[in-house]
Chain A
Amino acid sequence: MLSESARATSAAEARFRVEPGATVSRRLRVVALDAASDRLVLRLSKGSWSSVTFVPHAELTTRGADDIAAADLVVMVASVGSDASAAARIGQACSDMRTHTATFVVRPSSATDEGLSRTLAQVRPWSLMVVVASDEAYVEDVLRSFR
Chain B
Amino acid sequence: MLRQEQNDLLTQTGPGTPAGRLFRSYWIPALLVEELPSNDCPPVRVKLLSERLVAFRDTNGRLGLMDEFCAHRGISLWFGRNEDCGLRCPYHGWKYDVTGQCTDIPSEPENSTFPKRVKLTSYPLVERGGVLWTYLGPADKQPPLPEYEFATVPAAQSFVSKRTQECNWLQAMEGGIDSSHVSFLHRGDINSDPLFKGARGNQYNLGDLRPVFEVVESPGGLYIGARRNAEGGNYYWRITQWVAPSFTMIAPRGGHSVHGHFWIPIDDEHCWTWNFDYHPTRPLKDEELEAMRAGKGIHAKVIPGTFRPVANKDNDYLMDREAQRAGRTYSGIEGFAMQDQSLQESMGPIVDRTKETLVATDSGIIMARQRLLHAVKALMEEDTTPPGVELEHQKVRSAAIVLPPDQAFKDGAKDAMRVQPGVAPATV
Chain A contact residues, CB within 8 Å of chain B: 2-6, 8-11, 13-14, 17, 19-20, 23, 73, 100-102, 107, 113-114, 116-118, 120-121, 124-125, 127-135, 137-138, 141-142, 145-147
- Distance (whole angstroms) from the CB of B169 to the closest CB of chain A: 16
Chain B contact residues, CB within 8 Å of chain A: 1-2, 166-167, 212-217, 269, 313-317, 342, 345-346, 348-350, 352, 355-363, 366-367, 369-370, 373-374, 405-408, 410-411, 414
> Are A9's CB and B166's CB within 8 A?
yes
> Are B360's CB and A147's CB within 8 A?
no
| Beta-carbon nearest neighbor of B371 in chain A | A138
Contact of A132 with B217 at beta-carbon distance under 8 Å, contacts A116-B410, A142-B367, A145-B1 already known: yes
> Are A130's CB and B214's CB within 8 A?
yes
> Are A9's CB and B349's CB within 8 A?
yes
> Are B166's CB and A142's CB within 8 A?
no
> Are B348's CB and A145's CB within 8 A?
no
Chain B residues positioned under 8 Å from A128 (CB to CB): 212-213, 360-361
Q: How far is the CA of A2 from the CA of B316 in the complex (A)?
A: 10
Contact of A17 with B316 at beta-carbon distance under 8 Å, contacts A23-B357, A142-B367 already known: no
State which of A2, A117, A137 has its C-beta within 8 Å of the C-beta of B314: A2
- Distance (whole angstroms) from the CB of B334 to the closest CB of chain A: 15
Q: How far is the CA of A2 from the CA of B166 in the complex (A)?
A: 15
Q: How far is the CA of A2 from the CA of B214 in the complex (A)?
A: 43
Chain A residues positioned under 8 Å from B269 (CB to CB): 11
Chain B residues positioned under 8 Å from A131 (CB to CB): 214-216, 363, 367
- Distance (whole angstroms) from the CB of A72 to the closest CB of chain B: 10
> Are A20's CB and B348's CB within 8 A?
no
| Beta-carbon nearest neighbor of A130 in chain B | B214
| Beta-carbon nearest neighbor of A107 in chain B | B217
> Are B355's CB and A17's CB within 8 A?
yes
Contact of A9 with B313 at beta-carbon distance under 8 Å, contacts A129-B361, A141-B366, A141-B370 already known: yes
Chain A residues positioned under 8 Å from B215 (CB to CB): 129-132
State which of A4, A102, A132 has its C-beta within 8 Å of the C-beta of B316: A4
Q: How far is the CA of A120 from the CA of B406 in the complex (A)?
A: 7
> Are A133's CB and B213's CB within 8 A?
no
| Beta-carbon nearest neighbor of A142 in chain B | B366
Q: How far is the CA of A108 from the CA of B215 in the complex (A)?
A: 16
State which of B315, B349, B361, B414 has its C-beta within 8 Å of the C-beta of A3: B315
Q: How far is the CA of A100 from the CA of B313 in the complex (A)?
A: 37
- Distance (whole angstroms) from the CB of B339 to the closest CB of chain A: 14
| Beta-carbon nearest neighbor of B351 in chain A | A14
> Are A9's CB and B2's CB within 8 A?
no
